[in-house]
Each structure stands twice: as structure tokens, then as C-alpha cells.
């Protein structure tokens, strides 16, 4: 889990150059005053943040993102988080979700075979709020896991063990049921699902409660790929890996993408060594993210993929 303050830093990183120029709080230190991220940089490493801009959705029903993973990842060697939803917002409430090599979380019933605290692959769906958040905001799967705490912002989270591997998947959230609490406040439950294309198996990850009966999805979307703490990272030993992320679909329809931007955190937020390259796949339907076991040389740490701007390469040169 990452703190809400860190997630909102990603949003700041996706502002236009003009917006950054007018915000003193967001201006980075001059490059020559701060060293580039390296192998000793504190985890987590956000190897890439992607930001889409598109029209708001006033009556939200579903969001789907396709992802393809080239190779298996050993959870005993690397703590990896692939977040097709790096930061979303429903009725002003922030959330994220994806798959991790080690999800953590506490069992919710005797049906869970995971023990006191789970270690291993799975999927996650989390939202933020205030100190009133607890596990009553989570409806986990029968063999699911939950966590609600305030050590990284006030969050409630549902997780489900799932042995994901190389292959194609769809991560989706869908509007489920509505309820009104004893105080008359309206709430909507939103469920997260992971579909494995090879087997056509869809698993329910968890559901979270959001305020309101009609849900408005903001006019942006984020995805990220992260190495998080808990294991020492040796860049030369990183595995071969390519992750492809598809374009968001909202309410079953492809969104009208106005902008798609790449942000490699360097001077703010969860900075990462330059170990991932990013480009738009032929046809423009996927973003291809490649993990490298050496530090690349970047000329630009922030650039658009859509629309294409002359002089902005699709991936940093080595």
C-alpha cells in the first residue's frame, strides 16, 4: 500500500508544463543540485506512471483495463506491483487496484488457508477516506483478505490470493449494489474482478463501499508499475519482463483519449532509477513497458505518448 499523499503526487506530476510553471510548490530542484535516482534510492520505485486525460463520466458503471505480462515473476525474489488502476476517483474518493507478487492482508474466515498474514501473489483493491474507515467498508471474497489502517493514509482494502503468471488479463471494477445507512446516507458497493484470458476464469477480488448512489468518474486515469519494499533489489539481477497495458474502457466503451503522458518520478514522489522504458505499441492500442537490468540514460523524464509531440521519443534511449 502507498500513502494517499504519494498518490496525489502522481497527479501533480501529470500536470502540463504550463501548470507546473505556475505552481512553486511543484517545481523540482535544479537537476544539478540533486543526484539521479540509483540502486540506493529508497523503495518504493515507481518505474513508470501513466496518465490519461479524457471526459468525465457522470453515471459510472464499469472500468476495464487489459494487461499482458510477458514472463512469470518469482514472489520470493521481487515485490512487484502492476497497477492498471494507479489512481482513480469516484465521487471524489480515491482508489487503486492491480496485482502484486506479495499482497499481504488478514484472512476473513476459517475458509482462508493463508494463516495470520498472507504472503504470495494476488490482486488488490483499495480506497482512501477518513478515520471512520474500517473493514465494514470491505466485502471480501470467501477466501479473501482485508486490511484497514491509517499508517499510509486512512484506507480500507480487500485482497484475494491468485497465482497470476505470464499471460493476458483484464482488471475491472463494476458498480454493484446500493444501500442507505441508518443515518440516511447513500452508499454504492463497487466490485473488483480479474479475468484470465487463457482460461476465461473471472475471480472476484473484493468490493468497496463508496459514497453516493450515482457515481461520477473523474476525467483522468492513472496506471503504474512499482517495485515496493521488503526485499533488496539488485538491478543487474532484475528479471526479463514486458508489461502491456491497454486503453481504459468505461461503461463498456473505449474512452476518448485527449492526452496520454509518461512520467518517470525523479525529484518528487517515489523516485525510481531509470530501469523501465515505455512506448506506444503499433496501432496505438497498448502501452508497452519494458523492465531493464541496467540503468538507462534518459533525456526526458516526462513526455506525451498521445498526442505525439515532435522531439519526444517513444522511449528513452540507452
Which cell is 260 given?
496520454
Stated as kind and residue range, the H or E segment containing 19 is: helix 17-21
The pLDDT of residue 142: 87
Say if CB 267 and CB 34 are below 8 A apart.
yes
- The residue written with cell numbers 482488471 in the block is 171
Tell me the pLDDT of the chain (318 aa) as tens digits.
444 454 555 554 454 433 333 333 334 444 445 789 999 999 999 999 999 999 999 999 999 999 999 999 999 999 999 999 999 999 999 999 999 999 988 776 555 554 455 679 999 999 998 767 888 899 999 889 888 764 455 788 999 999 999 999 999 999 999 999 999 999 999 999 999 999 999 999 999 999 999 999 999 999 999 999 999 999 999 999 999 999 999 999 999 999 999 999 998 779 999 999 999 999 999 999 999 999 999 999 999 999 966 555 554 433
- pTM of this prediction? 0.87
Positive or negative torsion for Cα 224, 120, 169, 59:
negative
Amino acid at each position: 500500500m502507498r500513502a494517499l499523499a504519494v498518490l496525489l503526487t502522481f497527479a501533480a506530476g501529470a500536470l502540463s508544463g504550463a501548470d507546473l510553471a505556475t505552481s512553486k510548490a511543484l517545481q523540482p530542484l535544479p537537476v544539478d543540485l540533486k543526484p539521479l535516482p540509483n540502486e540506493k534510492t529508497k523503495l518504493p520505485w515507481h518505474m513508470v506512471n501513466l496518465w490519461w486525460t479524457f471526459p468525465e463520466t457522470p453515471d459510472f458503471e464499469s472500468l476495464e483495463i487489459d494487461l499482458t505480462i510477458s514472463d512469470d515473476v518469482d514472489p520470493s525474489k521481487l515485490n512487484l506491483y502492476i497497477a492498471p488502476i494507479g489512481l482513480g476517483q469516484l465521487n471524489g474518493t480515491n482508489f487503486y487496484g492491480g496485482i502484486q507478487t506479495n499482497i499481504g492482508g488478514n484472512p476473513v474466515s476459517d475458509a482462508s488457508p493463508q494463516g495470520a498474514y498472507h504472503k504470495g501473489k494476488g490482486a488488490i483493491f483499495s480506497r482512501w477516506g477518513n478515520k471512520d474507515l474500517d473493514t465494514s467498508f470491505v466485502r471480501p471474497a470467501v477466501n479473501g483478505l482485508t486490511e484497514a489502517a491509517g499508517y499510509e493514509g486512512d484506507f480500507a482494502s480487500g485482497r484475494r490470493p491468485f497465482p497470476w503468471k505470464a499471460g493476458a488479463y483484464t482488471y475491472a471494477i463494476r458498480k454493484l449494489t446500493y444501500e442507505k445507512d441508518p443515518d440516511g446516507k447513500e452508499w454504492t458497493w463497487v466490485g473488483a474482478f480479474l479475468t484470465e484470458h487463457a482460461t476465461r476464469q473471472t475471480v472476484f477480488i473484493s468490493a468497496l463501499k463508496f459514497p453516493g448512489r450515482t457515481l461520477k468518474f473523474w476525467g483522468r486515469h492513472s496506471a503504474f508499475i512499482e517495485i515496493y519494499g521488503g526485499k533488496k533489489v539488485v538491478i543487474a539481477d532484475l528479471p526479463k519482463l514486458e508489461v502491456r497495458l491497454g486503453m481504459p474502457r468505461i461503461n463498456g466503451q473505449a474512452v476518448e483519449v485527449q492526452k496520454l503522458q509518461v512520467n518517470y518520478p525523479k525529484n518528487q514522489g517515489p523516485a525510481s532509477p531509470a530501469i523501465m522504458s515505455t512506448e506506444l505499441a503499433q496501432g496505438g492500442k497498448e502501452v508497452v513497458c519494458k523492465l531493464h537490468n541496467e540503468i538507462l540514460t534518459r533525456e526526458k523524464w516526462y513526455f506525451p505518448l498521445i498526442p505525439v509531440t515532435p522531439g519526444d521519443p517513444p522511449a528513452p534511449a540507452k
